Amino acid sequence: MISVVIPIYNEDKLIDELFSRTKESISLFSEDFEIICVDDGSNDRSLEKLLECHHQDNRFKVISFSRNFGHQTAIFAGLSYAKGDYIGIMDGDLQDPPELFATFFEKLKEGYDIVYGVRKKRKESFPKKFSYWLYYRILSITSDIKIPIDSGDFSLFTRKVRDHMLETNEHNLFIRGIRSWVGFRQAPFEYERSPRHHGQPKYSLNKLKKLAADGLFGYSHVPIKLLGRAGTVIILLCLLYSIYTVYEKYFLGITPKGFTTLIIAIFFFSGVQLVSLRVIGEYVVRIHDEVKKRPRFIIKEKHLD
């Protein structure tokens, strides 16, 4: 049995197309499937449309959140209700072609546990493409585990992988990181990411920044280590400069004027300290989120039968 998890946030215009295309492409290799759509607190007609599809074909299942909890959380919720032997994740805007699941499935049969999509080309604006390009490279250099460059959440994996993914307890979810973290045999699959099928992206800039930070701070201690290194370099430079000033004063008899230097140094180091606090803060905020132990999401209604 195949389960496909799809997060949905205000996508009412494309649910019909999503329903028919996903159903068709999965039927090509298995009639035994379920498509779990997680409505992430949409405020348009998404839930109504999803329920219409559910009534037409009950293999199309619906979970609806009490409010917008976020894309990653919606995927996580879908994963926890999936019953399949193989479980797939795709976006609801048809940027990830569902037709590729058949290919992913073939690849799994070769003995892999996870097949994930790697975006070869993106049909998006230049600043967005460049930011993604830069981010994935920084993430790949800094992360403690190997998070493949340009990989998203689009993937198909075995139930065993899903079970281990669910064992992670973090609240600031970065699904592609968790997926890499569980290990097993993973295979990339390059594909061209299509433009969004309809409407505007539902990821606001703030949500994107949050996701990026969750990836960086959730999978790496490098930012903290960099602070330490920067501190050491600054201390060494200051030491050299202090020796030079003492030498100037006692051997050359020059009394330093240095007001400007002093002001610049004070402002510079105050800035460095604030930035450092922010970096430490990113970790503290994440610790805070974990100790609160709030549930990750609240379900308003679910239609799984």
Question: Where do contacts with Mg ion occur on this chain (CB under 5 A)?
Answer: 93, 95, 196
Under 8 Å between Cβ of 74 and 138: no
List the single partner that 8 binds among ligand UDP, Mg ion, none, CB under 5 to 8 Å by kind.
Answer: ligand UDP
Nearer to ligand UDP, 74 or 79 (CB): 74
List the single partner that 4 binds among ligand UDP, Mg ion, none, CB under 5 to 8 Å by kind.
Answer: none
Nearer to ligand UDP, 35 or 108 (CB): 35
List the single partner that 11 binds among Mg ion, ligand UDP, none, CB under 5 to 8 Å by kind.
Answer: ligand UDP
DSSP state string for 186-223: EEEEEEEEPPPSSS--S--HHHHHHHHHHHHHHS-SHH
CB of 137 to ligand UDP, least distance (A): 18
List the single partner that 70 binds among ligand UDP, Mg ion, none, CB under 5 to 8 Å by kind.
Answer: ligand UDP
CB of 229 to ligand UDP, least distance (A): 33
Residue 109, token pair as written in the block? 């049969």
CA-CA distance, 204 to 71, in Å (whole number)? 11
List the single partner that 117 binds among ligand UDP, Mg ion, none, CB under 5 to 8 Å by kind.
Answer: none
CB of 195 to Mg ion, least distance (A): 9
CA-CA distance, 61 to 66, in Å (whole number)? 17
List the single partner that 173 binds among ligand UDP, Mg ion, none, CB under 5 to 8 Å by kind.
Answer: none
Nearest to 5 by CA among 28, 31, 32, 38: 38
Nearer to ligand UDP, 203 or 283 (CB): 203
Nearer to Mg ion, 199 or 256 (CB): 199
Burial pattern 100-114, b for ≥16 Cβ within 10 A else e, equals bbbbbbebbeeebbb
CB of 117 to Mg ion, least distance (A): 13
Dihedral Cα 223, 226, 227, 231, nearest 10 deg:
180
Nearer to ligand UDP, 15 or 26 (CB): 15
Nearer to ligand UDP, 65 or 112 (CB): 65
DSSP state string for 34-52: EEEEEE-S-SSSHHHHHHH
**Given the rule CB under 6 A, which residues bind ligand UDP?**
7-9, 11, 40, 68, 70-71, 74, 91-93, 95, 196, 201-203, 207
Amino acid letter for position 187: A
Residue 29, token pair as written in the block? 């290799």
Residue number of the CB atom closest to ligand UDP: 92
Residue 35, token pair as written in the block? 């498509």
CB of 185 to ligand UDP, least distance (A): 27
Rounded to an integer, what is the distance from CA 229 to the centroid of its chain?
Answer: 28
Nearer to ligand UDP, 39 or 108 (CB): 39
Q: In 3-state terms, what secondary structure has residue 255?
A: coil
Rounded to an integer, what is the distance from CA 106 to the centroid of its chain?
Answer: 26
CB of 98 to ligand UDP, least distance (A): 12
CA-CA distance, 79 to 58, in Å (whole number)? 18
